[in-house]
Amino acid sequence: MKFLKSALLLLSFCGIIPAATIAAEDISQNDPALHLIHALGCKGCHSIHGEGGSLAPDLTQIGSRLTAGQIQIHLIAPAETRTRGFMPSYSSLSKDELQLISNYLYNLR
């Protein structure tokens, strides 16, 4: 992984690939919330910043419609808040994990 990153950096210095590509990868590895979102497969159905599935609503602007608390409630009991489609419940996550994801999504807007 370290080698791959050095190689990417080198290519970017040479102007072969844009530095932004590397920055995006770094954010996903360093941000525990984004890491969780990837690991839990949210992007299999949802898009965030133009990346992910189209089965479910795009989550990039979710913070302008729901509060972090409402997002958290939706993660625990999706079927109770909405009925437009199936979303699995993430009620088995720890309180910290739920808070991490909700705050992250809320602050995207």
CB atoms within 10 A of CB 3: 7
> Measuring CA to CA, which residue among 109, 103, 97 is closest to residue 40?
97
Which one of the spans 2-10, 14-22, 24-32, 49-57 is the region binding ligand HEC (CB under 6 A)?
Answer: 49-57
Is 5 or 82 the residue whose CB approaches ligand HEC more closely? 82
Ordered alpha helix ranges (H), 14-94: 19-30, 32-39, 68-76, 78-81
Tokens of 4: 């791959």
Helices (H) and strands (E) in the chain, counts: 6, 2
List 48, 56, 68, 98, residue binding ligand HEC (CB under 6 A): 56
Ranges within 66-85 binding ligand HEC (CB under 6 A): 66, 71, 74-75, 82-85
Which one of the spans 2-10, 15-23, 24-32, 35-43 is the region binding ligand HEC (CB under 6 A)?
Answer: 35-43
Residue type, 72: Q
Residue 100 makes contact with ligand HEC by CB under 6 A: no
Residues forming contacts to ligand HEC in the complex (CB under 6 A) are 37, 40-42, 44-46, 55-57, 59, 62, 66, 71, 74-75, 82-88, 90, 101
